[in-house]
Structures are given as C-alpha cells and as structure tokens.
Amino acid sequence: MGIFSALSGIFGIGKKQVNIIVVGLDNSGKSTFLNHLRPVDQRSSQIVPTVGFSMSNFSTGNLTFNAFDMAGQGKYRSMWESYYGTSQALIFVVDSADRMRIPLARDEFWMIMDHKDIANRPIPIMVLANKMDETDAMSASEISVSLGLDVIRGRHWSIQATCATSGVGLDKALEWLSVEVQRFLDSRKT
C-alpha cells in the first residue's frame, strides 16, 4: 500500500490532502457540521463544545480534507491564527439565529481576513449560515450583508444556508469548496 501511495503521488493520481480551518463563535455549529460528515455509524449522538481544537478528516471528489475544528470561546480564539498559514481554505460558521452576536461574528471574521497569513493568500472562504431551521434565523443574504462579505476582493468566497444537524446545505457547500480548493491548488502550480 505504501508503494502505491508513493507512486500515485508521483503521477498525480489519488486524493490530494488539504488542510482547512473551521472557525466561528462558540455554539455556531462547527463540531455538529463536522460530525455530520462522518459515516452514520461513527457519528456522535451528543456534541460537546470543543476545547482547544479537534481534527476531523473527510473526502470529497479527489480531495481529502484535514479539518481543524477550532474552539469558538473567546479565550481560545487567539489559537486560530496558528493554523492560517497551513490552510488551503477557511470555513467560517455563523449561528444565523444568534442575532445579538452577529456584530461579534463580523468583528472576528474581519480580524481573520486582515491577518497576514490570510490576507496575503487567496484561499477560498466558505461561510456557513448555520441553524437555518431556527424560527428566528437570518437568511443567508442577511448574514452576508451583516458580515460585510460584499467588500471581499481578490479571492473566491461563498455563503451557504445550512442546518448542520440535518445536513441541509452541506453538500452544496462542500461541492463549492472542493472546486475552489482545487482551483487554488492549481493556481499555485503555475
């Protein structure tokens, strides 16, 4: 198996491994999103808040993602930047029903976007407007305006309405992300 993996890497066949960082405020649904990507028999029935970070793996198309699920509590947010430089994409998860903390989510999002390891690299950005099943949830377009996504220049980004508990919207988000990560990787070869 080791020889096959080595040969497939040399000839460019097989799955490429990429790192993504999954961030957002606490209780936005980051861990639930990643839990939903696991095979059904490996999903956890109870999701607990992440302390520090955890890592999950999943595959789509010809990519294998190493997803770093970062804790969203204030005291852990400074750890996020340790993973920016090695990530080929960023997923920012927003609790669409938590209207009170949307300004805080916006501030955190723009601190990320202004960080030198993100600002100087055109990695794709996927925003998950999560918890769309909640009665008071903001629409994806409202979240987009609230976060100021329309001013992003020089990189590909998208926002997708999702419900991480049921999986609604996740396939579409990952399809977009896979295409954009592949485009980012191909642009670095030239």
Per the annotation, binding residues for GTP are 24-31, 72, 130-133
Per the annotation, binding residues are 24-31, 50, 72, 130-133
Q: What is the DSSP string of 83-140?
A: GTTT-SEEEEEEETT-GGGHHHHHHHHHHHHHSHHHHTS---EEEEEE-TTSTTPPPH
Per the annotation, binding residues for Mg(2+) are 31, 50
Neighbours of 53 (CB within 10 A): 17
SS (H, E, C) 127-149: EEEECCCCCCCCCHHHHHHHHCH
CA distance 95 to 97: 5
Residues 124, 184: contact at Cβ < 8 Å?
A: yes
Residues 36, 48: contact at Cβ < 8 Å?
A: no
CA distance 92 to 75: 18
